[in-house]
Amino acid sequence: MPELPEVETVRRGLLPAMEGHAIDVAEVRRPDLRWPFPERMAERLAGQTVTRLGRRSKYLLADLSSGETLIVHLGMSGRMLISGDMPGGFHHPHAAPEKHDHVVLQMSSGARITFNDARRFGAMDLWPTERIGEHWLLKDLGPEPLGNAFHEDYLVGRLKGRNTPIKSALLDQRVVAGLGNIYVCEALFRAGITPRRRAGQVSEQRVRALVPVVREVLEDAIAAGGSSLRDYRQAHGELGYFQHTFRVYDREGQPCTTPDCPGTIARIVQSGRSSFFCPNCQR
């Protein structure tokens, strides 16, 4: 499932084609994805201008001139792809319609935005913009890891006394929004913390040091266009490249990348998820 860097990369790719432009035509080709689409979704989208294209955790948020916000979740295999004319004089030819092109937005910018989702675990909803924080998908989310609310004192307070493994605590979207398995594994490696350690047993000094490491990993991943492991593509169809610089994720049995470390990368299963780490470097 795309994590924060992948969704942020898609948002940035869509920005020039969507923000400040109207949805001339909205075509909804099925009644649902993971859940039913909102009533009259095509009618409610058509003619509206996207006043702001934002992101909250792993969700794209398109604020509309109607006072509603289109919430988009990519799910396991969802893609938001751009074709047609782009601001700046670029042109990406329209691909032939595909079986899993479920929602198509023709923008006044000349671009076409196609939501393609083979597994149909994605989702879309419309919600009043002024009450967006009350939506059931968003209301319990923790702070954004790249925002000011995610700071050393906050994380120390949230992890204090917790008996769950630090890996599970960081995957808890109520603690911090947008982190997923890949980037938690990578952040814990860079911080030298084993995923097995109980969150409440990580020293305050190490928790404080973990905050800038989380930000660094996410910023590096965004700069690389995210990680493409299976279905993920950027808005223009390109792959992400961060997977080529993984230090632990999906590297079981390979040598540790830390200079002079004799260890090899191990994998354990925690709460049904694979955790990759170096037993020698991470304590």
Question: What helix, strand, coil percent values describe the chain, rounded to 5?
Answer: 30, 25, 45
Return the CATH number of the domain spanning residue range 4-134: 3.20.190.10
User: pLDDT tens-digit profile of 233-275?
Assistant: 555 655 554 667 899 999 999 999 999 999 999 999 998 999 9
pLDDT of residue 66: 98
How far apart, in whole angstroms, are the C-alpha atoms of residue 280 and residue 257? 11
How far apart, in whole angstroms, are the C-alpha atoms of residue 254 and residue 126? 46
Residues serving a catalytic function are 2-3, 58, 273
User: pLDDT tens-digit profile of 210-242?
Assistant: 999 999 999 999 988 776 555 445 556 555 546
pLDDT of residue 234: 53
A 10 A CB-CB count for 24 gives 14
Where, residue-wise, is CATH 3.20.190.10 in the chain?
Answer: 4-134
Where, residue-wise, is CATH 1.10.8.50 in the chain?
Answer: 152-277
How far apart, in whole angstroms, are the C-alpha atoms of residue 198 and residue 1? 26
For 152-277, CATH number out of 3.40.50.11930, 1.10.8.50, 1.10.15.40, 1.25.40.10 equals 1.10.8.50
Predicted TM-score (pTM) of the model is: 0.90
Closest residue by Cα to residue 185 from 245, 258, 250: 250
Closest residue by Cα to residue 175 from 142, 217, 224, 128: 142
How far apart, in whole angstroms, are the C-alpha atoms of residue 211 and residue 144? 12
Identify whether the C-beta of residue 267 lies closer than 8 Å to the C-beta of residue 248: no
Enter the tokens of residue 114.
């196609």
